[in-house]
Amino acid sequence: MSMRRMRRETLPDKEHQACGLFGVMNRKGERFGGRMAIDALMNMRVRGNGLGAGFAAYGIYPEHKDYYALHIMFQDWDLDAKREVDKFLGANFDVVCDEEMPTNPEASVINPPLVWRYFMAPDKKGDEKRLSDDDYVVKKVMHINTRIKNAYVFSSGKNMGVFKGVGFPEEIAEYFMLEKEYRGYIWVAHSRFPTNTPGWWGGAHPFCILDWTVVHNGEISSYGTNKRYLEMYGYYCTLLTDTEVMAYAVDLLMRRQRLPIEIVAKIFAPPMWDHVDIMDEKRKKLYMTLRMVYAPLLINGPWTIIVAHHGEMFGITDRIRLRPITAGEKGDLLFVSSEEAAIRAVCPNLDRVFTPMGGEPVVGRLKGVEKELRKKAEEGV
């Protein structure tokens, strides 16, 4: 408590109401601690109400980087659920290491659940051998989330992890000891002002499937449409929040259908027809076709998201900019945030600050990934 009060004196107070988003990436892949993410969210304190906060960090488990790292939460310390999960994982994976998540019992959080982490490799049998490793893991994660009561998978990617819960960001960071324990090259963070869904540990952001994480500010008015379309592709929304559909939509389009974010942005937040109608024929065809085919994944209503996976982080806001987004650069660091002040609070001397248009993505890529993409594009794939 005392620490929090001290911080508030040095960082300016503001009057806004919404969720707070922040993402920072080192585009050379150099790893750093969670301090910037924590401070940025503390700067945006009024965007949360202490009912949920969370962090995703990439590159944190180099010693286990070839294994899927599952962070699993057991509501109310339900040990029956844990036994069931252990049995299920044992039957479907080679678990190379599992342990209780290191936590700080002194941290001021209320009712923390048991959180366990597992490092494991798929052990596919029979028909499931046809699935790719990733699809296999998605299927098993869906099983745990939908079939095993009181067990929820926080994250399921390699060499990354999600840490989240009910509390203010600094409390969650303190509970999971983020500053001391972990170093990553991407940090994405979220502070929550829950409105339409109850504040519970599983409902905090980021949402994660494999190594894809999504943090979101807003309320999706197209939720029912998006959700029912995703159901056709085997995604079932169980976490009681509309951010989940974002995560699954990103997974479907980017991982399974391999569309780059620059295209996905045109699907999530397409330009108005008035703009499309005056484009040249080739662009018009592209935009019309995307809209025609992917209309059920147009994300309507006010939203800003920051999405990350290995090698890439991007931020994007809705087609008519009903939620804020600002980006900043300093050397190899790329920042995306709900507010410029939060970026400046952790990095005062920025090279560049800019506010993208609605639907225009801010993309950060690892230098290697960038090169690979360009090569692919040149080959016309």
Partner 1 sequence: MVELVRGEEMFSHMLPEFIVERREDRCIRCRVCERQCAFEVHKYDKELDMVFSDEKKCVGCQRCAVLCPTDALVIRPHPGEYRRNANWTRERIQDLKKQAETGGVILTGSGNDKPYRIYWDHIVLNASQVTNPSIDPLREPMELRTFLGRKPDALELRFNGGDYEDVEVATELYPNVMIETPMVFSAMSYGAISYQAFKSLAMAASEYGTLFNTGEGGLPKELRKYGKNAIVQCASGRFGVDPEYLNCAAVVEIKIGQGAKPGIGGHLPGEKVTLPISVTRMIPEGTDALSPAPQHDIYSIEDLSMLIYALKEATNYETPVSVKIAAVHNVAAIASGMVRAGADIIAIDGLRGGTGAAPKIIRDNVGIPIELALAAVDRRLREEGIRNKCSILVAGGFRCSADVVKAIALGADAVYIGTPALVAMGCTLCQKCYTGKCNWGICTQDPYLSRRLNPEIASKRLVNLLRGWSLEIKEMLGGMGINAVESLRGNREHLRGVGLEDWELEVLGIKGAGE
Q: Which of residues 319, 338, 344, 360 is near partner 1 by CB under 8 A?
A: 319
309: helix, strand or coil: strand
Q: Which of residues 20, 169, 218, 328 is near partner 1 by CB under 8 A?
A: 218
Encoded one letter per residue, x for contact with partner 1 by CB under 8 A and - for no contact, window 6-45 reads ----------------------------------------
∠156-162-164 over CA atoms, to 5°?
Answer: 130
Q: How big is the chain by its Cα radius of gyration, in Å? A: 20
- Of 224 and 331, CB closest to partner 1: 224
Tell me: does residue 1 bind partner 1 (CB under 8 A).
no
Residue 19 annotated as catalytic: yes
- The secondary structure element, H or E, covering residue 330 is strand 326-330
Torsion, Cα 169 148 159 91, to 10 degrees, reads 160
Q: Which of residues 58, 116, 175, 229 is near partner 1 by CB under 8 A?
A: 229
Considering only 36-44, 148-156, 217-225, 329-337, which stretch makes contact with partner 1 by CB under 8 A?
217-225
Catalytic residue, from 19, 208, 237, 347: name it: 19
For residue 320, what are its two tokens?
Answer: 């008519």
For residue 265, what are its two tokens?
Answer: 């942005």
Return the closest-CA partner of residue 364 out of 339, 337, 333. Answer: 333
Does residue 196 contact residue 234 with C-beta atoms inside 8 Å?
A: no
Tell me: does residue 268 bind partner 1 (CB under 8 A).
no
Q: Within the chain, where are the H helices? A: 2-10, 35-43, 79-92, 133-147, 169-175, 178-181, 223-231, 243-250, 261-268, 273-276, 281-294, 340-346, 367-378
Q: Which of residues 79, 91, 97, 272 is near partner 1 by CB under 8 A?
A: 272
Tell me: does residue 278 bind partner 1 (CB under 8 A).
no
- Least distance (Å) between residue 192 CB and partner 1: 13
Does residue 160 contact residue 56 with C-beta atoms inside 8 Å?
A: yes
Compute the distance between CA of residue 121 and CA of residue 98 in angstroms, rounded to an integer: 12
Return the closest-CA partner of residue 25 out of 46, 56, 52. Answer: 56
**Residues 143 to 202 in contact with partner 1, rule: CB under 8 A:** 195-196
Compute the distance between CA of residue 326 and CA of residue 126 in angstroms, rounded to an integer: 49
- Least distance (Å) between residue 54 CB and partner 1: 20
For residue 215, what are its two tokens?
Answer: 């943090």
Considering only 109-117, 184-192, 304-312, 319-327, which stretch makes contact with partner 1 by CB under 8 A?
319-327
- Of 113 and 359, CB closest to partner 1: 359
Tell me: does residue 378 bind partner 1 (CB under 8 A).
yes
- Of 299 and 345, CB closest to partner 1: 299
Tell me: does residue 285 bind partner 1 (CB under 8 A).
yes
Tell me: does residue 225 bind partner 1 (CB under 8 A).
yes
Tell me: does residue 139 bind partner 1 (CB under 8 A).
no
- Least distance (Å) between residue 267 CB and partner 1: 9
Tell me: does residue 260 bind partner 1 (CB under 8 A).
yes
∠175-176-181 over CA atoms, to 5°?
Answer: 130
Tell me: does residue 296 bind partner 1 (CB under 8 A).
yes
Does residue 263 contact residue 291 with C-beta atoms inside 8 Å?
A: no
Considering only 25-33, 64-72, 87-95, 257-265, which stretch makes contact with partner 1 by CB under 8 A?
257-265
- Of 127 and 280, CB closest to partner 1: 280
Tell me: does residue 228 bind partner 1 (CB under 8 A).
yes
Tell me: does residue 97 bind partner 1 (CB under 8 A).
no
For residue 144, what are its two tokens?
Answer: 């745990």
Tell me: does residue 300 bind partner 1 (CB under 8 A).
yes
Tell me: does residue 3 bind partner 1 (CB under 8 A).
no
Q: Give exposure, 53-75, as e/b (b: 16+ Cβ within 10 Å).
A: bbbbbbbbbeebeebbbbbbbbb
Where on the chain is the footprint of partner 1 (CB under 8 A)? 195-196, 218-219, 221-225, 228-229, 231-233, 257, 259-260, 262-263, 270, 272-274, 282-283, 285-286, 289-296, 298-302, 319-320, 322, 373-374, 376-378, 380-381
| Catalytic residue ranges | 19
